[in-house]
C-alpha cells in the first residue's frame, strides 16, 4: 500500500485527496496544513464538480509542520498542494526524506528554482512530477491523441481559451493568488495550463507575442498570446480573470487541421466534437475517470515502477511550461515579441 501525505489542505489539497481515494493501492495516511480550520472547511475554487468536502477519517494523521511530519517517517509519497512560493522548499524537504513527490503546478516562480527541484529529484532517485492536470483531462487527452495521430493532417491553426472570475478563495481574506509576487499572476498561475498543452503538442515556439489587460491595481486580468513556430501555423491563446461570476469558469479549444476541425469545451457544448471534412461530426468517447483521478493514477503507476503506455508528462515539461509563460509575460511587459532560447533564457 502506498502511504500518501497531502501538504496544504485547501482547494487543491481536497481535490487531490478525493482523487487519491479512488486510486487503488494507495491511501492518504497524513495531511499537513498550518491552518487546522482548513481540515474541516469546505474549500472554494473555480473548477466545478470536484469534491471539496473530503472529511478525514480518524486513521489520517494530522500535522501542522512539514518537517515534523517527514521526521516521523512512514510515508512513500508527499503530494504538495501548497501556495506556489512554498513548492520548492517542501519538494526539496520531501525528496531529501526519501519520498516520491507530486507537486501542484506551476512548478515554481523561477526557472532556477525548477532546476534545483529537478536536480534534487535526480539526486534522490525518486519520482517527481508536477501536476499539469490539463494533460489528463479526458477531452484534452483525446484532443492531443487525435492531433498527434495525424489522421486529419497537419494543424493549420489552433486557439485555446481559459476564462475565470478573479480567484479569491484562499482563506483569511489575504488571498495569496491575488498577490502576483506569490502566485506569478495570470500568466504563471492560470495560463500555464494552455501554454503547457500547446508546448506538449508542438514544442516551444520560436517566438511569442503577448498582450495583457491590467486593472487599476496593476493586476493582470486578461492576456492574449500568439505563438510563432516560424511557419504558417497560427497558434493563439487567451486567458482571463475578467470573466463574470455568472460565467465562473470556462476552458475551450478550437483546432483546425487539414481534414477536420475540432471543438473542445465551451459552455453548454459537448466536451469534444470532431467535424471531419465531408463527414458527419462525432463526439469521441471519453474515459469516465476525472482528469485529477487520471493524473494521480499515472503518478502512482510511476511510483510503483510501472511504465506508462505512453509518457504523458515529465517534471521537465513543467519547467518548459514556466519558461514559456515567463516569455509571454515578458512580451506583455515590454510590448515586444520575445524569442525563446532552448537554454531557458530568453531574449527580446
Ligand X SMILES: NC(=O)c1ccc[n+]([C@@H]2O[C@H](COP(=O)([O-])OP(=O)(O)OC[C@H]3O[C@@H](n4cnc5c(N)ncnc54)[C@H](O)[C@@H]3O)[C@@H](O)[C@H]2O)c1
Q: Which residues in this chain contact ligand X in the complex, by CB under 6 A? A: 7-13, 32-35, 38, 43, 45, 47, 66, 81-84, 86, 104-105, 131, 133, 169-170, 189
Whether 319 and 91 have beta carbons less than 8 Å apart is answered as no
Q: How far is the CB of 186 from ligand X (least distance, A)?
A: 11
Nearest residue to ligand X, scored by beta-carbon proximity: 10
Q: How far is the CB of 156 from ligand X (least distance, A)?
A: 29
Task: Name which of 76 and 295 has its Cβ closer to ligand X.
Answer: 295
Q: Look up residue 250 and give its three cell numbers.
A: 470556462
Distance, in Å, from the CA atom of 132 to the CA atom of 200, rounded to the nearest integer, reads 11
Task: Name which of 44 and 345 has its Cβ closer to ligand X.
Answer: 44
Distance, in Å, from the CA atom of 308 to the CA atom of 137, rounded to the nearest integer, reads 17
Number of CB atoms found within 10 A of residue 243's CB: 18
Whether 239 and 162 have beta carbons less than 8 Å apart is answered as yes
Q: Look up residue 183 and give its three cell numbers.
A: 502566485
Q: How far is the CB of 173 from ligand X (least distance, A)?
A: 12
Whether 92 and 86 have beta carbons less than 8 Å apart is answered as no
Q: Look up residue 241 and give its three cell numbers.
A: 480573470
Distance, in Å, from the CA atom of 306 to the CA atom of 132, rounded to the nearest integer, reads 20
Task: Name which of 6 and 155 has its Cβ closer to ligand X.
Answer: 6
Q: How far is the CB of 228 from ligand X (least distance, A)?
A: 27
Task: Name which of 38 and 290 has its Cβ closer to ligand X.
Answer: 38
Closest CA to 105 of 133, 128, 77: 133
Burial class (CB within 10 angstroms; exposed 0-12, middle 13-18, buried 19+) of 193: buried
Distance, in Å, from the CA atom of 53 to the CA atom of 259, rounded to the nearest integer, reads 45
Whether 260 and 134 have beta carbons less than 8 Å apart is answered as no
Task: Name which of 33 and 328 has its Cβ closer to ligand X.
Answer: 33
Q: How far is the CB of 275 from ligand X (least distance, A)?
A: 28
Task: Name which of 242 and 273 has its Cβ closer to ligand X.
Answer: 242
Closest CA to 150 of 282, 260, 281, 235: 260
Q: How far is the CB of 209 from ligand X (least distance, A)?
A: 25
Task: Name which of 33 and 180 has its Cβ closer to ligand X.
Answer: 33
Q: How far is the CB of 280 from ligand X (least distance, A)?
A: 34
Amino acid at each position: 500500500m502506498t502511504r500518501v501525505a497531502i501538504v496544504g489542505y485547501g482547494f487543491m489539497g481536497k481535490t487531490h485527496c478525493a482523487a487519491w481515494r479512488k486510486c487503488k493501492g494507495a491511501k492518504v495516511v497524513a495531511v499537513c496544513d498550518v491552518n487546522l480550520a482548513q481540515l474541516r472547511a469546505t474549500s472554494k475554487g473555480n473548477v466545478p464538480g470536484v469534491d471539496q468536502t473530503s472529511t478525514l477519517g480518524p486513521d489520517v494523521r494530522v500535522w501542522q509542520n512539514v518537517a515534523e511530519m517527514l521526521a516521523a517517517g512512514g510515508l512513500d509519497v508527499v503530494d504538495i498542494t501548497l501556495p506556489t512560493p512554498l513548492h520548492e522548499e517542501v519538494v526539496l524537504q520531501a525528496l531529501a526524506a526519501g519520498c516520491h513527490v507530486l507537486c501542484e503546478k506551476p512548478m515554481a516562480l523561477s526557472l532556477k528554482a525548477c532546476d534545483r527541484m529537478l536536480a534534487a529529484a535526480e539526486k534522490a532517485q525518486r519520482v517527481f512530477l508536477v501536476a499539469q492536470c490539463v494533460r489528463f483531462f479526458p477531452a484534452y487527452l483525446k484532443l492531443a491523441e487525435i492531433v498527434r495521430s495525424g489522421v486529419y493532417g497537419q494543424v493549420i491553426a489552433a486557439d485555446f481559451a481559459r476564462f475565470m472570475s478573479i480567484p479569491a478563495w484562499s482563506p483569511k481574506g489575504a488571498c495569496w493568488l491575488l498577490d502576483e509576487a506569490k502566485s506569478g499572476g495570470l500568466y504563471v498561475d492560470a495560463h500555464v495550463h494552455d501554454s503547457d498543452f500547446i508546448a506538449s503538442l508542438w514544442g516551444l515556439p520560436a517566438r511569442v507575442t503577448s498582450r495583457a489587460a491590467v486593472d487599476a491595481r496593476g493586476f493582470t486580468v486578461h492576456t492574449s498570446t500568439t505563438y510563432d513556430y516560424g511557419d504558417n501555423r497560427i497558434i493563439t491563446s487567451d486567458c482571463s480573470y475578467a470573466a463574470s461570476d455568472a460565467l465562473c469558469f470556462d476552458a475551450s479549444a478550437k483546432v483546425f487541421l487539414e481534414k477536420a476541425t475540432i471543438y473542445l469545451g465551451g459552455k453548454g457544448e459537448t466536451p469534444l466534437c470532431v467535424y471531419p471534412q465531408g463527414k458527419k461530426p462525432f463526439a469521441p468517447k471519453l474515459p469516465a475517470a476525472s482528469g485529477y483521478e487520471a493524473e494521480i493514477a499515472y503518478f502512482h503507476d510511476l511510483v510503483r515502477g510501472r511504465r506508462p503506455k505512453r509518457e504523458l508528462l515529465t517534471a521537465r515539461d513543467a519547467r518548459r511550461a514556466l519558461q514559456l509563460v515567463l516569455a509571454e509575460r515578458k512580451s506583455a511587459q515590454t510590448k515586444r515579441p520575445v524569442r525563446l532560447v532552448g537554454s531557458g533564457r530568453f531574449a527580446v
